[in-house]
Chains A and B, each alone.
Chain A
Amino acid sequence: DADVTQTPRNRITKTGKRIMLECSQTKGHDRMYWYRQDPGLGLRLIYYSFDVKDINKGEISDGYSVSRQAQAKFSLSLESAIPNQTALYFCATSGPIRGGWNEQFFGPGTRLTVL
């Protein structure tokens, strides 16, 4: 079984709808991340969480919110989806490292289309 899973894998929705993307991990990591990938832009960090009570905004958090329901679960919500949020979304996890960044383990991605 995959260590990092994302649901759904594909989603088509309409402008203004609320959408939730879910991520679960079995790696036992405290740190979890949400990224979006756009062609020509690479990955950009949306939100990250270093433990259940620690949630932080990333480079592009506007229009998104997150919930860390448990160590293993980290959800990303689009309260009112808009077309420019059409992208490939990745969840990732990593183990601890003091004052820095460790290797991240990525899920398979969720392709979201907002019409």
Chain B
Amino acid sequence: AQSVTQPDIHITVSEGASLELRCNYSYGATPYLFWYVQSPGQGLQLLLKYFSGDTLVQGIKGFEAEFKRSQSSFNLRKPSVHWSDAAEYFCAVGRNNNDMRFGAGTRLTVKP
């Protein structure tokens, strides 16, 4: 069965530091890849997505992600974290018409 792994349950970074959140998936073909962010008490909001083409994609709020086919990864990055980035981040992977899986999420804490 397809699975999505976010190895880090919780990450703490200092404001202004760089950030990388990891996402790996188990699926042979190139799936549809997404990163969503969930602020406390809120629904999920799309940060970015990858379907095909350039493997480095830019999203909102200064985030980017890189698709690496050889590693089955789609890691999320930000060069300089802001206190408002504190939230939970979910990687999601979709394939064909009937399978969409989310990772368990990574909670980001930002230290002043």
Contacts and interface: CB of A to CB of B under 8 A. Distances in A.
B17 interface: no
Chain B interface, DSSP helix/strand/loop, else mixed? strand
Contact of B98 (A42, A56, A92, A107): A56
Contact of B46 (A103, A107, A108): A103
Contacts of B32: 100-101
A100 B43 contact: no
Contacts of A44: 102
A90 B4 CA distance: 19
Interface string B19-40: 0000000000000101010000
Contacts of B43: 4, 90, 106-109
Interface string B72-112: 00000000000000000010101111111111110000000
A58 B100 CA distance: 8
Interface string A24-47: 000000000101000011111100
Interface in A34-66: 35, 40-45, 48, 50, 56, 58-59
Interface of B: 4, 6, 9, 32, 34, 36, 41-46, 49, 51, 90, 92, 94-105
Given A40-B104, A41-B104, A104-B34, 7 more contacts: A43-B92, A92-B44, A100-B51, A100-B96, A101-B94, A107-B43, A108-B41
26 contacts: A4-B43, A33-B100, A35-B102, A42-B4, A42-B102, A43-B92, A44-B102, A45-B101, A50-B97, A56-B98, A58-B98, A58-B100, A59-B99, A90-B44, A99-B97, A100-B94, A100-B95, A100-B97, A101-B32, A101-B34, A101-B95, A104-B46, A106-B44, A106-B45, A107-B43, A108-B41
